[in-house]
Amino acid sequence: MSVRFGLIGYGAWGERHGVAIERTEGAELAAIAVRSEESRTKAQAAHPQARVYADYRELLQRVDIDVADIVLPNNLHAAAGKAALEADKHVLMEKPMATTAADCRLLTDLAAARRRLLMVGFELRLSDLWGAVKQLVEEGKLGEPRYLLVELWRRPYRTGSDGWRYDIARVGDWILEEPVHFFDLARWYFQGVGDPISVFARANSIQQGHPELQDNFSAIVRFPNEAHAVITHTLSAFEHHQTVKLTGTHGAVWASWSGVMDRDEQPSSSLKFFDGEEVHQVELKRRTGELVDLEDEIAMAVEAVRDGRAPTATGEDGYWSVALCEAAGESIRKGVEQFM
């Protein structure tokens, strides 16, 4: 049985979702909703088997759609997610799930009431590289996690369709763009330690007259037992380089990914594990990156809907990541530690 997807949004990343759905066994791209006539023409040419709509509400009226895959600007997530759940569709939502924790909670409550799946596109959880770090933690190879560093060094953002990513009213906050992934990784890696306690953050902008666009950002997230995560990024650099360093009570791991850009199809990656006595180079089974991980995300959604497997990232995970981003934003504005 094929799981039929309705794709809502067809910008640069929405196009990638369309391709990933078509490449995934057990998935069928049945419909696409996109507002602009130019994008509708492009979508229909690329996916002639799919019905293309100007209004996603028409797409949601179709009873044969199983999953609404929402790939819209951040400020539209909550309304589209609500409409999809009320239409009794399962939802795969690009991060962030919404621009406020309150809206995230409304979506999780609605999904529970409707008995629908609410899945969030934290594709880093599906990466062989970042997932291998989690596996080492789960196997007890590091002991109890104590310290995490997630660092991103990258080129500036693409503007997004109609410049939405540089419009704070539509993006919500730049902390919701990259750091939202890293807050999620921190919760994931420290899952056995407990929920985050507090966030202390600092940020600045290099863009004249736009202090709200935080090109440089750093945060410390406190967890129980004095465990903590340092999350830091710059959007004022070049290429795309991400590093994760995690130490525990008797081991450590160092993972890195580098490409010319975030969607590089030929990146380089490395994973080293220290068992307390010796350093091991861990061989990865395949290349990793946004494009590969996106295909795994679609496959995960198929298995969750068709086979009843638990989603890799749930609405609760989406809520927590946005709540941490909100706390970081408050910490920047007030200059003090924010408790969860």
Same domain, 243 and 166: yes
**Whole-structure pTM value:** 0.95
What pLDDT digit, counting tens, does each position of 25-46 carry? Answer: 999 999 999 999 999 999 999 9
Q: Is the dihedral of CA 96, 97, 103, 105 positive or negative?
A: negative
Report the share of the chain in percent with pLDDT over 90.
88
Residue 51, domain CATH: 3.40.50.720
What pLDDT digit, counting tens, does each position of 225-270 carry? Answer: 999 999 999 999 999 999 999 999 999 999 999 999 888 888 999 9
pLDDT at 30: 98
The mean pLDDT of 278-287, rounded to a whole number, is 90
Same domain, 243 and 335: yes
* φ/ψ (deg, to 5) at 68: -95, 115
**pLDDT class for 286, splitting at 50, 70, 90?**
confident
Strand-pairing partners, residue 328, are none
Same domain, 129 and 245: yes
For residue 161, pLDDT over 90 is answered with no
Across the chain, where does the E strand assignment appear? 3-8, 27-33, 51-53, 67-70, 90-93, 118-120, 145-154, 198-204, 216-222, 228-234, 240-248, 252-259, 268-274, 279-281, 338-339
- The per-residue pLDDT of the chain, averaged, comes to 95
Nearest partner of 124 among 199, 231, 247, judged by Cα: 231
pLDDT at 60: 98
Estimate to the nearest angstrom the gap between the alpha carbon of 204 and the chain centroid: 23
Which stretch of 73-87, 163-177, 231-245 has the lowest confidence by average pLDDT? Answer: 163-177
Query: Rounded to the nearest 10 degrees, how much is the dihedral formed by the CA atoms of 94, 98, 99, 100?
Result: -150
What single DSSP character describes residue 74?
A: G
Cα–Cα distance, 237 to 178 (Å, whole number): 14
Cα–Cα distance, 191 to 208 (Å, whole number): 40
pLDDT at 288: 83
**pLDDT class for 162, splitting at 50, 70, 90?**
confident
Nearest partner of 286 among 127, 121, 123, 124, judged by Cα: 127
Residue 165, domain CATH: 3.30.360.10
pLDDT at 125: 96
Same domain, 94 and 201: no
What pLDDT digit, counting tens, does each position of 134-147 carry? Answer: 999 999 999 999 99
The mean pLDDT of 77-88, rounded to a whole number, is 98
Same domain, 306 and 199: no
Same domain, 116 and 161: no
For residue 1, pLDDT over 90 is answered with no
Range of the domain at 49: 3-123+294-313
Which stretch of 105-114, 125-134, 166-175, 292-301 has the lowest confidence by average pLDDT? Answer: 166-175
How much is the CA Rg of the chain, to the nearest whole Å? Answer: 20
Same domain, 96 and 150: no
Q: Higher confidence at residue 21 or residue 292? A: 21
Same domain, 63 and 205: no
* φ/ψ (deg, to 5) at 54: -85, -25
Cα–Cα distance, 33 to 68 (Å, whole number): 10
For residue 210, pLDDT over 90 is answered with no
